[in-house]
Chains A and B, each alone.
Chain A
Amino acid sequence: MKKNHFFVAAAFLAVVVLISANLRDKNPYGFENGTPDIQSINGLAFGPDGILFIGDSKKASIVAIDTKDKTLVQQGQAVEMKNIDQKIAAQLGTEAKNISILDLAVNPVSKRVYIAVQSMDGSPVLLTIEGEKIQPVNLKNIFFSTVSIANVPSEDAKDQRGRPLRGLAISDLVYADGSVMVSGISNQEFSSTFRRIPFPFKDKQDQASLEIFHAAHGKYETNSPIKTFTTADLNGKKYLVASYTCTPLVLFPMDELKSGKHVKGRTVAEFGAGNSPIDLLSFKKGDESFLIMANSSRPVMRIKYKSLESFQGSLTEPIKESYGTAGVDFVTLPVVNVQQMDILDDTRILVLQRKVNGDLDLYTASSERWF
């Protein structure tokens, strides 16, 4: 009799294990089904399996959504859309001056282009672009998960005055090696927060939250908000390649970003005054890897990662010449006013550029043209 009970219990346990394993297989990222509360879309980044991370500054959160867009395509469809702002505006029933394109991301699996748009009233819109076709991405009744990036009040600062949790303006969002990384800037104090959040998100999040500093030429040290960043392998080690709001290009070894409050980047280049970096990309062509940087007041710059690898020092001397540059060698491409860019496929980059005549065009740049 006892033996029978044992077999029944064992069988029951096996069924439970099988069912839970099955459920886990079907929902490996712990998504829930429903409609996420998305109040703004400031950053887009793709993760594995067609999962799109949406940076929501207003809600101070990152939302991971299952786009179900995971049919593998090796070569993306080239996109050539002139006056994209006017075309998007027309489809949204308004004029180009009333919308802003805040970010774009290419799904590395399907090579489909996703664009975050904000209307003048602040409404966020997520669109896809295929050829000349502009379509909304459904954000209702989807599979998603959310993680908060609000600044949690310190220990005993439980608020009696009902002040809201402090939000962050998300300046960039990247997914790499199983983590979502986000840089945020406060609208109050002069500070920068950088978070590295493992994905899938958990209830109790293991977020590495760092304060980023910058030592100007080894002398003056300040807090330094990160404007844009990417990741790279240099000499077999993983690095965060970042640009501060005050222009220098800096490196942080990834293994130093686990925790801590005071992290300094090693300055490897300064690209001139009166300029602000807009976007950074890592691109591989053959055996060679490149860093591509779009700027507010300078052309797109291309830097060989080999140069970064061989540049072991840190800039310690101020640059003498006005508007001069220093540090690693770089090539200036004949492309100015690039607003956004992302990798389309192994050989091409998608570029959103404000042309000299004022037009805002989305086009595909081939590697022959840029490398």
Chain B
Amino acid sequence: MVLRDKVWIRSGLLPGLILSFCLAACLQKRDIPSAIAIKWDDSVATGFVVPRQLVSTVSDDSVRDGLRIHLVRDTPQPPVLGEYRILNDEVIFQPLIPFTRGLTYEVRFKNQSLATIRIPPVDPARAPELIAIYPTQDTLPENLLKMYLEFSQPMKETDPLSYVRLVRNGRDTMPEVFLDLRPALWNNEGTLLTLWLDPGRIKRDLQPNKSLGAPLLANQTYKLVIDKRWPSKSGALLKRSSDKTFFAGARDNLSPDLALCNISIPRPGTKDPLRIDLPETLDCVLLKEAIDVIDSHAKSVEGKVNITDEETVLLFIPAAEWQRGSYFLRSESRLEDLAGNNLNRLFDRDMTVQQAEIQKDFHKLEFTIR
């Protein structure tokens, strides 16, 4: 037996057999007339992969003409619009929009059903969450202009107001408080929504303001409620409903002023943050976007901005160590407070009152590192 084994090995019969087995296994694996597969692209079902052999007896054109995908419903559905690409041994169907999670589709060839495939719903553990509601303060000016909702995942962009309501004093749901903008104001990632309290009702003397009054009234308590039925772009609903209670305080009739900022100056040779205590809560998004630090040669200093303490403190963390010298905190004039007053002008300027109008693109505040 041992001898025979040796003969086998010597003659190459055994390695040959092993090789043949491996080859056969590989080929078999490749040739499996496997089921039609879902094509996934970053957890999105972007198509079906149909083994060519399921429709192999005909030409490419016939495959394109004969293969159809239908949504499975109680009533017959039209073929799903999309593109058929024919590769060597498979046909890929890519619908115009990704397949919807939780729905079932039927693959037909020449009106014969090949398979029905359910796109699995999103794992509940991957449900999106509302991370923050800005402003984070619990006392807000009665002429508050904007609120931001920040989510952990890109959300469905249309009809956001279906999932948001504002309740006054725990009793009355306020109608038409937020402006129904189409398109809604999302950041590019689809994770940050800007809600405008109806500017027509905030603007003094305008007809909506006269007839409906301002959206918020001073000395009242409000609760912003976010409904958990709000789906993400992948179709998963919010993990939970959320709310934020706040009190409407006095009207803010002043433009923010950089000169009133208090700067805590870091030591040279460190990467300590530059701390700026703001004179009031400012718009959280604009604080991140509109402010930078420049050196005495007007060159922007590389670094990161963190906003803390209910949007009243800005920390600028430099990428490199601070050097001795003069610097400027620089802000684009579009930086706004919570009532939409920016560095140049008030949200609604009384034209009958003479005011020196500022028309600067940037406002600067100098500081020196010694």
Contact = CB atoms under 8 A, between A and B. Distances in A.
Interface of A: 40, 42, 57-58, 90-95, 98-100, 102, 118-123, 125, 134-136, 154-161, 163-164, 166-167, 169-171, 185-191, 214-222, 224, 227, 244-248, 270, 272-274, 276, 278, 296-297, 318-324, 326
B200 A121 contact: no
Nearest to B69: A93
Given A221-B348, A246-B199, A246-B200, A188 B194 contact: yes
Contact of A220 (B69, B204, B303): B204
A97 B179 CA distance: 22
B241 interface: no
Contacts of B198: 246
B259 to A, nearest CB: 20
B349 A163 contact: no
A224 B208 CA distance: 14
B78 A91 contact: yes
Given A93-B100, A276-B179, A160 B302 contact: yes
Interface string B189-213: 0101010101111011111101110
B158 A100 contact: yes
Contacts of A323: 211
A278 B179 CA distance: 12
A273 B351 contact: no
Contacts of A161: 292, 300, 302-305
B281 interface: no
Contacts of A166: 289
A56 B292 CA distance: 29
8 A-B pairs with the lowest CB-CB distances in the bound complex, closest first: A246-B200, A93-B80, A273-B208, A187-B185, A160-B300, A119-B97, A100-B158, A220-B348
Given A121-B97, A154-B332, A187-B187, A217 B205 contact: yes
A62 to B, nearest CB: 15
Contact of B208 (A98, A118, A247): A247
A324 B348 contact: no
A155 B294 CA distance: 14
Given A185-B185, A274-B176, A122 B190 contact: yes
A324 B207 contact: yes
A159 B206 CA distance: 39
7 contacts: A58-B188, A93-B82, A187-B187, A217-B206, A220-B204, A246-B200, A318-B206
A266 to B, nearest CB: 15
Interface in B165-197: 175-176, 179-188, 190, 192, 194, 196
B194 A92 contact: no
A244 B201 CA distance: 13
B234 A189 contact: no
Interface in B103-128: 103, 105
Contacts of B200: 244-247, 273
Interface stretch (B19-27, B133-141, B334-342): B334-342
Residue among B70, B156, B180 having the largest count of chain A Cβ atoms under 10 Å: B156
Interface of B is mostly: loop
Nearest to B234: A121
Contacts of B235: 98, 120-121
Contact of A190 (B100, B211, B336): B336
Contacts of B251: none
A137 to B, nearest CB: 10
B261 interface: no
B292 A270 contact: no
B74 interface: no
Interface in B193-241: 194, 196, 198-201, 203-208, 210-212, 231, 233-235
B145 interface: yes
A166 B205 CA distance: 32
A189 B199 contact: no
A123 B94 CA distance: 13
Nearest to B361: A154
Contacts of A102: 158, 182-183
B205 A187 contact: no
Contacts of A99: 97
Given A136-B81, A161-B304, A222-B203, A167 B188 contact: yes
Contacts of A224: 199
A190 B185 contact: no
Contacts of A322: 210-212
Contact of B233 (A120, A134, A136, A318): A120
A123 B205 contact: no
Given A92-B81, A118-B158, A185-B185, A123 B96 contact: yes
B207 A247 contact: yes
A95 B203 contact: no
B199 A190 contact: yes
Nearest to A117: B97
Contacts of A274: 175-176, 208, 211-212
